[in-house]
Amino acid sequence: MAVSANVAAFVAAEHETLTRLEQFAETPAFQRLLKSASPLADVDADVWLAEWLLQPAFRIDELWLEVALTPGGVEIVEQQLLRIAAGVVS
**CB burial string 18-31: b at 16+ within 10 A, e below:** eebbeebbeeebbe
Ranges 40-49, 58-67, 81-90: which has the least confidence = 81-90
Instruction: Assess if residue 5 is contained within a domain.
Output: no
Looking at residue 90, its pLDDT comes to 57
**Residue range 22-41: mean pLDDT, rounded:** 94
**Average pLDDT of every residue of the chain:** 93
Q: How many domains does the chain have?
A: 1
**Residue range 47-75: mean pLDDT, rounded:** 94
Grade residue 75 by pLDDT with cuts at 50, 70 and 90.
Answer: very high
**Residue range 25-35: mean pLDDT, rounded:** 96
Instruction: Assess if residue 8 is contained within a domain.
Output: no
pTM: predicted TM-score of the whole model, two decimal places: 0.87
Element (H, E) at 77: helix 73-85
Residue 30 structural domain = 20-85
